[in-house]
Amino acid sequence: QVQLVESGGGVVQPGGSLRLSCAASGFTFSSYGMHWVRQAPGKGLEWVAFIRYDGSNKYYADSVKGRFTISRDNSKNTLYLQMNSLRAEDTAVYYCAKDPGTVGYMDVWGKGTTVTVSS
């Protein structure tokens, strides 16, 4: 079945870095755009970044632009989010999600991985 599994979350100090991974299975990963979406504790959903199916275009929320980098390895069916210069306000559950085309919706979600930025 279609599945997304995030990993790489943890506790990191302010200013530190972390790389999240999202392993995809059950569909042709190289044919679909992918998103990262986050949710701070007790808060709503915030879109973080999107990458086209072939990695040719990437888009970011203003809140993470210049600090986060989305990438993908289609040979490994894996999506990544490199997070640098982390701040307390980046503390959240991070979800990867599949786009059904290149339309901006999210039709399949992973269970999420938790990132905590704290000293």
Partner 1 sequence: DIQMTQSPSSVSASVGDRVTITCRASQGISSWLAWYQQKPGKAPKLLIYAASSLQSGVPSRFSGSGSGTDFTLTISSLQPEDFATYYCQQANSFLALTFGGGTKVEIK
Chain residues binding partner 1 by CB under 8 A are 35, 37, 44-47, 50, 57, 59, 61-62, 95, 100, 103-107, 109-112
- The Cα 12–Cα 18 span in angstroms is 8
Task: Report residue 110 as tokens.
Answer: 């992973």
Closest CB to partner 1 among residues 13, 57? 57
User: Taking the complex as a whole, how short is the minimal distance between the CB of residue 90 and partner 1, in angstroms?
Assistant: 17
Task: Report residue 83 as tokens.
Answer: 């997070």
Task: Report residue 91 as tokens.
Answer: 């503390």
Closest CB to partner 1 among residues 10, 104? 104
User: Taking the complex as a whole, how short is the minimal distance between the CB of residue 61 and partner 1, in angstroms?
Assistant: 7
Dihedral angle sign, alpha carbons of residues 45, 48, 51, 56? positive
User: What's the maximum distance between 2 C-alpha atoms anywhere in the chain?
Assistant: 40
Closest CB to partner 1 among residues 16, 67? 67
User: Taking the complex as a whole, how short is the minimal distance between the CB of residue 13 and partner 1, in angstroms?
Assistant: 27
Residue in the structure block whose two tokens are 């569909």: 27
User: Taking the complex as a whole, how short is the minimal distance between the CB of residue 119 and partner 1, in angstroms?
Assistant: 27
